[in-house]
Amino acid sequence: MSQNAEKAPFGPAPSQKNLAGGEAAATVPQESPQRDGLFPVEPAPLSARPLVLKTRGRVEYLAHCPHCRDWHRHVHLGNVTGPCGVEYELQPKSGRRAA
């Protein structure tokens, strides 16, 4: 067995002793990266990719709800509220691009 395999790679960190009093040195708390402007604290909005449902009088969108996992019908894209009460965004599927 090698020396690296004998040592635990993630063992407890050695404590730093203060030379004057023998007490553990105070550590300065570091800011969490989620408090930064690059990482918002709120969770990402729920979204669903709808299927187009052509009815006799209008076009409807059939979406698999991200909350209750049931199918809901909506008459427009964008932010919608399902019958279960959850709000989510209906995002259209991107079409094929011409080559």
Q: Does residue 65 surpass a pLDDT of 80? A: yes
Q: Does residue 34 surpass a pLDDT of 50? A: no
Q: Which of 10-14, 40-44, 58-62, 82-86 is the least confident region?
A: 10-14
- For the whole model, what pTM was predicted? 0.51
- What pLDDT digit, counting tens, does each position of 41-58 carry? 777 789 999 999 998 999
Q: Could you tell me which residues come within 8 angstroms of residue 25 by beta carbon, excluding any fewer than 6 positions away?
A: 16, 17, 18
Whole-number Å distance between alpha carbons of 78 and 69? 19
Whole-number Å distance between alpha carbons of 60 and 85? 19
Taking alpha carbons only, the member of 91, 92, 90, 56 closest to residue 74 is 90
pLDDT confidence of residue 10: 58
Q: Which of 51-55, 88-92, 94-98 is the least confident region?
A: 94-98
Instruction: Output 7 or 41, whichever has higher pLDDT.
Output: 41
